[in-house]
Structure 1
Amino acid sequence: MLHKTYPFRVRKKYFTWILPVLFPFAAAMAQNADSAWIRINQLGYTPAGVKVAVYGSKGTGSISTFHLVDSATGKKVLSKTAGRAMGAYGPFQQTWRLNFSSYTRPGTYYLQSGKTRSPFFRIGKDVYDGAADFCLRYMRQQRSGFNPFLKDSCHMYDGFTLYGPMPDSTFVPVSGGWHDASDYLQYSTTSANATSHLLMAWRDFPSVFTDHHAANGLPGSNGIADVLDEARWGLDWLLKMHPKDEWMFNQIADDRDHAGMRIPGLDTMYGRGYERPVYFISGEPQVRGKFMNNTTGTSSTAGKFASAFAIASGIYKNIDHDFSKLMQYKAGTAYQFALRKPGVTQTASVKSPYIYAEDNWVDDMEFAAATLQRNGEAMHYARQEPVTPWLGDDTAKHYQWYPFINLGHYELGRNLKGKQRDSVLQYYRTGIVRVWNKAKTNAFYRGIPFIWCSNNLTTSFAIQCYWYRQLTNDQQFRELEQANFDWLFGCNPWGTSMVYGLPANGDTPVDPHAAFTHLMKAPIDGGLVDGPVYGNIYNNLIGIRLNNPDTYAPFQSQLAVYHDDYGDYSTNEPTMDGTASLVYLLAAFQWAAGK
């Protein structure tokens, strides 16, 4: 079941040792006297899917076999050799991959090797059902303008312009959209990307989604899938941020937001009452703390507008013809704005150096051209950046290669035939191989760098693997794809899901860096948190201080740290765009399981 269980989850982190019989996660921990753990995907596994867990030990001893055990009867239903040891990783001195893919009977089980047991997990075709819809809870909670979670409005006075062709401080009505993360900044680049992912999720997997909410996010069916309602919320805001053919805005608010936590309706951080600044896409450098950012043009953000509008135009043809025509027109004007000055648009900040330091733009233009059916232009851009640069690397700047994978290759793979199609699919394969060459050396098949928002990269990379497999039927990287998915839901050194409240009664974040939980003690169901970062990144970030004893202290390492603590904004802050990408990934996995 997917439901709010916030009071239970708050207790779980700190008190489950009292009732080990009732709480299988605690029971498993109690049996780890030999300092070994078996990490699983807490959501479960599908009968026909890849099923792998990871055994990690603090000692140097060896295991030779493992068993799959029926949780109800205690009967061993499968026994297998553990295979070769995979060596040290993070906090573990020795690790093994425990592959039980051959077992297909639905039920509830646990894995055991020696005295070490995993938590209970399910095998079933329905293990991912409802998960994508569950994550839409967080998207609705992030709404600016009318917020259905609060049943109140916020940020209704946005905002006053900066860097535009109009006089600075000109008022433009741009209320709406989503708050970017646990702060209240709003970025066009992340919002357009999130909107595209939600639209594509409905386009590619419409049967997965349900209709339990009205367009304003309040409970009540309106005849339209909730994911499409959420995408429409994003589209309506993007229209406000592109109100004229020659006008486009990049963001609302800036890092002055970070002065303190508050409920969104009380946001008065800019010296003008409830008004906030709105930054125009000028194509020129704008403020970045004591310096200026490295903006070189208009293409990266405007290209994302164009693709979101173009996808929407196709979807709404049979739903709202007039809106479809508007989307088609706006896709064209956004594309022309992107061509105004080819280059990248970075975000602005006033006090700190932290920005979305995006450095690539031809991928955005490829995606825009492909969704506009301008395949020749799209191939021109595809050849300029065939592989997203971070794939296979150990590090990157924050959002340097956004949106982390090349969405345009997927659209071209759907549109083209022959040699051109083969070329873009080979681009995907090359990137996957670069990650695989790193991942195959460790038991978690981890080849994603532990940079800020590593969970977002993990989600996106899993989507690239999925798209490549669907477009080519090449099954070579299926286990790598599943490993990245499993990582997000507990098959990681910390044994925790990275999604608040998913699964219910699992080990998931309970103390995220979020105003709703910190100030209101309210859940942020479905929010994907940033995820682990390298130890050296964590140690050099400004203003981090843990507020509680570290629940995961035994599993921290110089390689990577993750803290379920409000004080750690680097690993435990949920993000809107990461969650939207996860909606797509979860929809894909639910659809595949139900085929």
Structure 2
Amino acid sequence: MKKLLLLVLSAFFSLPLLADWIRINQLGYAPHSCKVAVWCNKEQDTLKYFELVNARTGQVVFKHAAGRAAGAYGPFRQTSRLDFSSFTKTGQYYLQAGGAKSPVFSISDTVYKGTADFCLRYMRQQRNGFNPFLKDSCHTHDGFPVYGPDSVFVPVSGGWHDASDYLQYVTTSANATWHLLAAYRDFPKVFTDSLQANGLSGNNGIADVLDEAKWGLDWLVKMNPQDDRMYNQVGDDRDHQGMRIPRQDTNFYGRGLERPVYFCTGAPQGLLKYKNRSTGIASTAGKFSSCFALGTQLFAGLQSSYAATLRHKAKAAYELGMQHPGVCQTAPGRSPYFYEEDNWTDDMELAAASMGGPYLTDARTFARQEPVTPWLGQDTARHYQWYPFINPGHAELARLSKGAQRDTLMRYYKEGIERVWHKASQNAFYRGIPFIWCSNNLTVAFAIQCYWYRQLSGDDTYIQLEQACFDWIFGCNPWGTAMVYGLPQHGDTPADPHSSFTHLKQYPIDGGLVDGPVYTNIFRNLIGIQLQEADEYAEFQSDLAVYHDDYGDYSTNEPTMDGTAVLIYLLAAQENAAMSKGYTITQGGITRMDSSRKEIALVFTGDEFGEGLPHINNVLQQQQVKGSFFFTGNFYGNTRFQQPVKQLYANGHYLGPHSDKHLLYCDWQQRDSLLVSQQQFTADMQANLSKMQQLGIDTAKVHTYIPPYEWWNNSIAAWSAKMGLQIVCFTPGTGSNADYTYPQMGASYKSSEAILQSVKAFERNRPAKLNGVILLIHAGTDARRKDKFYLQLNTLIRYLKQQGYSFKKVDELVI
């Protein structure tokens, strides 16, 4: 309501209204992230420069030319991007440009700390069955089956309410469950344990995000009670008969407190006026299967019997999907609105990739059938027509693929991103997402696709587009408002959402992501919308799009459970990146240093071969460069290599472990499948460190290591952390790690000249060039490789110095 107050005061006192504004990410910015604001003007002025001001001292600490005049957008006649990414000092600041001054914001490694956990509050508040926020239960009588072969009661109480109504869909609940599971798998350090599984106070030894994911998993198990029984929905739009607290639901369906539970038939459904266009079961079956498969991996070491149940159900659900290809849409009733999902191969791809092993062939087949999610780059789509809004299957499959197969999947992601970028590059907000219903959900999903592409390909071409989507959600948009209830705490955030909790009881719905702006022509044609108060964002509405912080607008201001769950993944990724001080983190390991700095780490590994050590040592001494060396216990214990190792240590190079016996920690095809126990891992690493100590190496200063085969997962990273060790590894795409290959390996062989050109191409073609790159070279190779790349080390270092790079040891990379 802050802008409404300004409008009222301006009218009352005849004050001139503002003509320009600066839109920022109200959460703040991490020091090593992209930091961009947008200047907006209602005249046709242009901007030459902007200033960053220390909010405490009033001192200008950074002055820079404004971005090009980007022209009109929405309510504004002129806009410009203000890029201050190169400024990394922490503190409280504001921007000033033209006649505008931004709100104060933070630059800090902790700006996103706790935000993912904060949004979990909304998920818990949406719980069906026992609700820990209300400390009460609801919908315990669900439900009676419709369309199915049986007529007996189906016990499906649990899960989450979908939005501000109390409907429940596998479509959205499974997507939410998968993202919560993936968030914990990918960013375990981000989440805390402060609650019990039921959501009440008191920790239980399991991260709260995993407790919440299990709440969703448990409901999915109920909705898939037998191998040939699968339900898709609880309730229908007869639910929409006024606002009420969940426990106040009454007899809307003619069966007392029971609600209908829709059986998956693979045919069109709709008990009242309208019907959907269902053609099969696979879209729902694939969602069941992918959640069960990921749940199997995460609960295997926590609740083995539960994991076994999930493993069986993942396979059974997948087989049912294979038997009934097609989409299983949600069922409408008295109104024409439903989730019009028209794609299903993406769901089956994710399921097959999640199960891995023999299912990967299927996954690749499905990936080829929908390489690019169809809405990407389009101006419109039907409601939830292409859902989930991106294809996580490509990322899951890419993690299990190498070479050309991996490159193909990244090309699919890149093509989709390019389609959006083609539109986004034309405006200052870098906005290429259509303003259809739930545009915020599309925005956070697309930001995750950009993130996965960047992480898996090493290509950061689209990092500003990725960040712009994130910034949009937290205030860098025409309305200057964050789109998450209560986040940030002192920001401009939704105050009057379309929610019974806030409207009837004034309960806060902390962490809920609202639907977001829609095209103005969509808003004007929706049924039953009537604003309840004066529009505090009136001066920022336009013929392009509208957003209202008003209970009466269910199209732009209704929070959704699935959008919030996807945002939780994105927030966890942001917090993890901020914690990582600008490093690129893959499965808990550092695979690139700060890409804003012209620094490179040269790392060397060895197990059975080490004939190149004397030459490597001499070159490093001549060039006055320090390197980092990681050897196995086999290597440290080999008398042929002990004198060169001692010389390296004496010369000030870093020496670390590489596992004692060069163990393979996890499956090549299914990375989450461990091949060692924690006890085996710990014993092997301790043996490696012991052999280092025998050579006089002070292992108290050893805090980083490279895993054997350069292959690990989050579990290995967590076990490493408990030993005080941080995983580091080479930067993907640089190509130097291929120096172990030899001609008899066929197409895999890379000559030293090809490797050198690969490094130069990386420097030439990547936006961040070789900044922060970790280059891996083997200390020795199989005798069948005559063309030793370590003999090119002098040439490589001279080239890197000519490009202006300095060199860093990895012992400085502990996070």
Q: 1:320 aligns with which of 272, 292, 303?
A: 303
- In the TM superposition, what whole-angstrom CA distance separates every residue of 1:567-594 from its partner, at most 9, and x where no partner exists? 0000000000000000000000100111
Q: Are 2:379 and 1:394 aligned?
A: yes
Alpha-carbon shift at residue 371 of structure 1 (Å):
0.2
- 2:554 corresponding residue in structure 1: 569
1:71 has 2:55 as partner: yes
Aligned twin of 2:530: 545
**Deviation readout 1:249-275 (Å, 9 max, x if unpaired):** 000000011111111001122122211
Instruction: Give deviations 1:82-140, integer Å, cap 9, x for gaps.
Output: 13100000000000000011100000000001321000000011100000000000000
Amino acid at match of 1:446: R
Match of 1:23 in 2: none
Instruction: Report the CA distance shift for 1:32/1:150 in structure 2 as closer, same or farther (over 3 A).
Output: farther
CA distance in 2: counterparts of 1:528 and 1:289, whole angstroms: 31
The answer to whether structure 1 residue 173 and structure 2 residue 155 are counterparts is: yes
Residue pair 1:294, 1:346 contacting (<8 A) in 2 also: yes
Equivalent residue for 1:281?
264
The 1-side partners of 2:376 and 2:301 are apart by 38
Letter in 2 for 1:47: P
| 1:31 positional shift | 10
Stretch deviating more after TM superposition (563-572 or 328-337): 328-337
After superposition, what is the alpha-carbon deviation per residue over 1:306-345, rounded to whole angstroms, capped at 9, x for unaligned?
A: 0000000011111111111111011011111212210000
Distance 1:78 1:307, change over 3 A: same
Provide the rounded CA distance (Å) in 1 between the counterparts of 2:429 and 2:271: 37
2:291 to 308, 313, 323: 308
- Give the letter for the 2:469 counterpart: N
Q: 1:541 to 1:285 in 2, by over 3 A?
A: same
d(CA) in 2 for partners of 1:176 and 1:207?
A: 28
Between 1:479-488 and 1:413-422, the stretch displaced more is 413-422
- Give the counterpart of 1:231 among 213, 219, 224: 213
1:523 to 480, 486, 508: 508
Mean alpha-carbon deviation: is it higher for 214-223 or for 137-146? 214-223
For 2:521, the equivalent position in structure 1 comes to: 536
Q: Does 1:154 align with 2:138?
A: yes
Give the superposition deviation at 1:35: 1.3
Q: Which of 223, 228, 236 pairs up with 1:246?
A: 228
Alignment of 1:152-231 (within 5 A): 152-167=136-151, 170-231=152-213
Structure 2 letter corresponding to 1:287: G
Which letter does structure 2 place at the counterpart of 1:171?
F
User: Equivalent residues in 2 for 1:14-93 (5 A)?
Assistant: 33-93=17-77
1: distance between equivalents of 2:294 and 2:95?
A: 44
In the TM superposition, residue 290 of structure 1 has moved relative to its aligned partner by: 2.5
Partners of 1:237 and 1:399 in 2: CA distance: 22
1:430 partner amino acid: E
Query: What secondary structure, in the 3-state scheme, does the structure 1 residue paired with 2:112 have?
Result: coil
Alignment of 1:94-493 (within 5 A): 94-167=78-151, 170-268=152-250, 269-287=252-270, 290-373=273-356, 374-493=359-478
Task: Tell me by how many angstroms 1:18 deviates.
Answer: 11
Residue aligned with 1:287, SS: coil
CA deviations 1:265-317 (Å, max 9, x no partner) are: 01122122211000000111101752321000000011000000000001111
Larger relative contact order (C-alpha < 8 A, sep ≥ 6)?
1
Q: Is the 2:514–2:558 contact (alpha carbons within 8 Å) kept by the matching residues of 1?
A: yes
The aligned residue for residue 542 of structure 2 is 557
Q: Is the CA contact (8 Å cut-off) linking 2:238 and 2:333 kept in structure 1? A: yes
1:36–1:57 Cα contact (<8 Å) kept: yes
Question: What is the deviation of 1:217?
Answer: 0.6
Structure 1 residues 405-427: Cα deviation after superposition (integer angstroms, max 9, x where no partner): 00100101111111111111110
Q: Residues 185-208 of structure 1, C-alpha deviation per residue, up to 9 Å, x if partnerless?
A: 000010011000000000000000
Determine helix, strand or coil for the equivalent of 2:27: coil
Secondary structure in 1 matching 2:377: coil
C-alpha contact 1:178 1:186 (8 A) present in aligned 2: yes
Structure 2 match to 1:6: none
Q: State percent identity of aligned pairs.
A: 65
2 CA distance for matches of 1:594 and 1:77? 24
Amino acid at match of 1:115: G
**Counterparts in 2 of 1:69 and 1:421: CA distance versus 1, 3 Å:** same
Give the TM-score of the pair, scaled to structure 2: 0.69
Q: Which runs of 5+ in 2 are unaligned?
A: 581-815
Higher Rg of the two aligned structures: 2
SS in 2 for 1:412: helix
TM-aligned CA deviation for residue 14 of structure 1? 5.5
Which of 469, 481, 493 is residue 508 of structure 1 equivalent to? 493
SS of the residue 2:546 aligns to: coil
Change (3 A) 1:563 1:288: farther
Assess if the C-alpha contact under 8 Å between 1:395 and 1:450 holds in 2: yes
The whole-number CA distance in structure 2 between the counterparts of 1:130 and 1:397 is 35
The whole-number CA distance in structure 2 between the counterparts of 1:127 and 1:32 is: 35
Letter of the 2:419 partner, please give it.
R
**Structure 1 residue aligned with 2:617:** none
From the superposition, tell whether residues 117 and 415 of structure 1 become closer, same or farther in structure 2 (CA, over 3 Å): same
Taking the aligned partners of 1:185 and 1:84, their CA distance within structure 2 comes to 47
- 1:259 is paired with a residue whose SS is coil
Taking structure 1 as reference, are residues 111 and 331 closer, same or farther at Cα in structure 2, changes over 3 Å only?
Answer: same
TM-superposed CA distance for 1:525, in Å, is 0.2
CA 270–518 in structure 1, closer or farther in 2 if over 3 Å, else same: same
Amino acid at match of 1:461: F
How many Å apart are 1:34 and its aligned residue?
4.2
* Cα displacement (A) at 1:475: 0.8
SS at structure 2 position matched to 1:491: coil
Q: Deviations over 1:140-187 (max 9, x none)?
A: 0000000001000000000001000113xx311100000000000000
**Hey, what does 1:8 align to over in structure 2?**
none
Which AA in structure 2 matches 1:486? Answer: D
For 1:498-533, what per-residue CA distance to the aligned partner results, in whole angstroms no more than 9, with x for missing partners? Answer: 000000010000000001000111100000000000
Query: How many corresponding residue pairs?
Result: 574
Determine the C-alpha separation between the residues in 1 that align with 2:388 and 2:3: 33
**Letter in structure 2 aligned against 1:244:** Q
Q: Distance in 1 between matches of 2:304 and 2:194?
A: 24
Structure-2 residue corresponding to 1:4: none
